[in-house]
Amino acid sequence: MHHRRNAAVNRFFQWMGFALVSAALISPSVHAADVKKPGVKKQQVSASNAKRAVVTRKVAASIKPTRVAARTAKAPTKVAFVPAKPSFGQMAGLHEVNDPLDLKSSVALVVDQDTHEVLLRKNDQAVLPIASLTKLMTGMLISQAKLPMDEPVTITQDDVDTEKGSRSRLTVGTTLTRGEMLHLALMSSENRAAHALGRTYPGGLEVFVTQMNAKAKSLGMNDTHYVEPTGLSSRNQSSARDLATLVGVAHGDPLLRELSTSPGYEVAVGHKTLQYNNTNGLVKNPTWDIGLQKTGYISEAGRCLVMQAQVAGRKLIMVFLDSAGKFSRLGDAERVRRWVESNPSLAAPLQAVRSNNG
């Protein structure tokens, strides 16, 4: 029994010794394999990098260099400057003349309507285009002819402006009464309305223009000449002195006073209602007492304005021609009014003021 136990123990130790020897023999080879593996991996990585470098060189060689042109700054586009067409007054040098009020109009005249005293004058003898101030004479002839104001007048192709190409809301075929046409011509300076009034005058347009010039001559307006009833032609010309005469006579006509100072007016055209306004904004100003007025503009004439107004107790006739600037003619009227009101020597005598007020 004891002998068997010793034999088993001996076999156990023999097996353990064999296992230890085997482990010692095997472990160096395993360790060597583990040491060699990093070397293999490094070699593989180096080969991969080399291959990638070759591919990169081939790709780089296949790319052709491109020439990039330098971008030059684009020159700014030059817009041609078209100067405004000078007026006759500018070409004549009338704007070089100074006046104590620094008016923007090259021609001005302020006259007392009752005494004919001249309060202010500037180039009042100059003969210039008068634009739509022409319509004041047109209106005077129509009113004095005593034609029926309720008679229909139709706009035709003959009334379309071929002189300046101006626009109008009164299309060909529009029919209004003569009174409505006269209202629009005096208040809103409607060119087709004014032309239609002259065209439908007894005897036609040619007779009407002849009558315009005959009337001017009869009033002593020797600087004045008309070729048509609208003022679109620069050949319609006059002087400030002649226009002051015309304003004085026209102011005596109640119809012209009413229509020229009307702030606004509506007319029915077909299924539409057209609103027209006065071209002179001063008629809506409650500080002004305007009895008659007319504005005008074409490039040859500049901005024009004639008015009859009561200022500081005096009935004044004001004429402004060839004003530079859209609102400068109204500004000139304001400058004259302030000048008269602030200057006691220009105000009407107290007795005259009381007489005028009744």
Q: Would you please indicate which residues are annotated as catalytic (active-site) residues?
A: 132, 135, 189
Cβ pair 139, 250 in contact under 8 A = yes
Tell me the pairing of strands 175-177 and 290-298: unpaired
Do 150 and 178 form a contact (C-beta atoms < 8 A)?
yes
**Could you tell me the CA-to-CA distances from 338 to 134, 169, 170, 334 in Å, in that order?**
28, 37, 39, 6
How far is it, in rounded angstroms, from Cα 159 to Cα 150?
20
User: Which residues are CB-contacts of 337 (< 8 A; sequence separation ≥ 6)?
Assistant: 288, 309, 311
With beta carbons less than 8 A apart as the criterion, state whether 275 and 269 touch.
no
* CA 74 and chain centroid, separation: 31
Nearest residue to 123 (alpha-carbon basis) of 99, 139, 100 = 99
Contacts of 318 (CB under 8 A, 6+ apart): 108, 109, 110, 305, 306, 307, 308, 309, 333, 336
Three-state DSSP class for residue 136: helix
* C-alpha span between 336 and 36 (Å, rounded): 114
**How many Å apart are CA 241 and CA 163, to the nearest integer?**
27
Q: Which amino acid type is present at position 103?
A: L
Do 182 and 198 form a contact (C-beta atoms < 8 A)?
Answer: no
